[in-house]
Homo-oligomer: A and B are copies of this chain.
Amino acid sequence: MIETPYLLFLGDAPDQLAAKVAIGIKDWRPENAVGQYRMDGCKADVGLKDMDLAEARAAGAKTLVIGVANRGGVISQEWKKVLVMALEEGFDLASGLHNLLSNEPDLVAVAEAVGRKLHDVRVPEQEYPIANGVKRKGKRCLPVGTDCSIGKMYTALAMDAEMRRRGIKSTFRATGQTGILVTGDGVPLDAVVADFMAGAVEWLTPDNDEDHWDLIEGQGSLFHVSYSGVTLALVHGGQPDALILCHEPGRAHMRGLPGYQLPSLEALRDLAMETAKIANPDVKVAGISVNTQKLEEAEAIAYLTKLEAEMQLPATDPFRFGPGKLVDALMAL
């Protein structure tokens, strides 16, 4: 669990895109960020107040979150200067970078000396149990995709936000590093040891009120041969009551797999339902979430309308048209 609120470190980001994690935190958990810290030459701006370390501490910030990708996979000396100062000012550090804070001896030494924590959210911070498959109280919704990186996290976050806006009990459950940094908590599922994947998901989505929904962040795809095992662990550990089918039209092949075509939404529905029923025979497909970024608005609407008729399910692009339709469908189950 990462202590909130954060100061978002944007470093010397070369462009706005590099600050994806910080933007995610600002978009989805604005209450988790008191401000942003930008170094000379920073080209990103997430629209929060610029603060130095002392100002942010005074505003209550507890953790400096690296909200930006670094260049060349190295934590630069310029960054280090700020990170060391932050530790000395009383901040914990949190990062989803590939190169771990805990592999930097200087950061480790300073953190130990001043009694602060280094959170590398790519690495599990605890041991998880073997899944026991016992039915848990409360409701769970899991987005599943025809491919990786197709909008599953966005869909779950958007539905969670809309549900909380409507006063429905809901919690987004993060299973990847961006989601963990956004919410301050979760399971980095792709870094969990194989035997404990499903158990980690059970741990992440415990018993809850009968009318509470967990919106579980999806990972991979049942059809993506590199990561399908992670996805099936989510389906079986998550025991979803509802599935959201996620798709992006127009992809030439599965992400990173030139020899593999995307499955149809019918094929995704069938395999996801068949596997999900093993853990929860009452599971239903609630709706379809489509990333229509490559379509003009009129094309997108036509695509969604056709899909709804073909699949007999509500379909929307939650980024473009809002997640309301998916939440309606979830409530109508």
Contacts and interface: CB of A to CB of B under 8 A. Distances in A.
Interface of A: 130-135, 189-195, 197-199, 222-223, 225-233, 236-237, 254, 256-257, 259-260, 263, 270-271, 274-275, 278-279
A225 B195 contact: no
A193 B128 CA distance: 13
Given A225-B278, A257-B132, A194 B198 contact: no
B237 A225 contact: yes
Given A191-B193, A228-B233, A231-B232, 11 more contacts: A132-B256, A133-B260, A190-B195, A192-B194, A193-B193, A226-B236, A228-B275, A228-B278, A229-B232, A260-B278, A271-B274
A232 B228 contact: yes
A132 B259 CA distance: 10
B197 A229 contact: yes
A244 to B, nearest CB: 20
A228 B236 contact: yes
Contacts of A271: 274-275
A304 to B, nearest CB: 27
B232 A279 contact: no
Nearest to A271: B274
A289 B173 CA distance: 41
A228 B229 CA distance: 7
8 contacts: A133-B260, A197-B230, A199-B226, A223-B278, A225-B279, A228-B275, A232-B232, A263-B278
A195 B310 CA distance: 34
A193 to B, nearest CB: 6
A226 B132 contact: yes
Contact of A228 (B130, B198, B199): B198
B194 A225 contact: no
A200 to B, nearest CB: 9
Chain B CB within 10 Å, residue with most, of A134, A198, A260: A198
A152 to B, nearest CB: 16
A197 B194 contact: yes
Closest 6 CB pairs of A and B: A229-B233, A225-B236, A229-B229, A190-B195, A131-B226, A133-B225
Contacts of A279: 225
A130 B278 CA distance: 28
A177 B260 CA distance: 33
A223 B134 CA distance: 15
A234 B313 CA distance: 33
A174 to B, nearest CB: 15
A90 to B, nearest CB: 33
